[in-house]
Chains A and B, each alone.
Chain A
Amino acid sequence: MKQRLGWTLALCGAATAAAGELSWVKSYDEAVTRAAASGRLVMVDFWADG
Chain B
Amino acid sequence: MIKLAAQVVPVKLNAGKEGRELAKKYGIQGLPTILFINAKGDIQQRITGYLDAKAFAAKLDGLGGGEILAARSQANSKPDDGEAHARLGLALSIAGKPQEAEQALLKARKTRYSGPLIGQGYNNLGDHYAQGGQLDQAVEAFQSADRSGKDAAVRAYAKLRLAEVYAAKGDKDRARKTAQAVLDLKGAPIQFVEKARELAK
State whether the Cβ of B157 lies closer than 8 Å to any Cβ in chain A.
yes
The CA-CA distance from A11 to B56 in the complex, in Å, is 8
Whether the pair A19, B5 counts as a contact (CB closer than 8 A) is yes
Chain B contacts for A26, CB-based, 8 A: 11
Whether the pair A46, B8 counts as a contact (CB closer than 8 A) is no
Chain A contacts for B185, CB-based, 8 A: none
* Chain B 140-161: CB-based contact to A (< 8 A → 1; otherwise 0): 0000000000010110111000
Which residues, 16 to 33 on B, are CB-close (under 8 Å) to A?
16, 18-19, 22-23, 28, 31-33
The CA-CA distance from A46 to B50 in the complex, in Å, is 12
**Inter-chain CB contacts under 8 Å: number:** 176
- A47-B31 contact given A28-B19, A39-B117, A41-B9, CB 8 Å threshold: yes
Whether the pair A19, B38 counts as a contact (CB closer than 8 A) is no
Which residues, 1 to 50 on A, are CB-close (under 8 Å) to B?
3-4, 6-7, 10-11, 13-15, 17-49
Closest 10 CB pairs of A and B: A39-B120, A37-B157, A14-B53, A15-B4, A43-B8, A36-B39, A19-B5, A31-B11, A10-B53, A35-B39
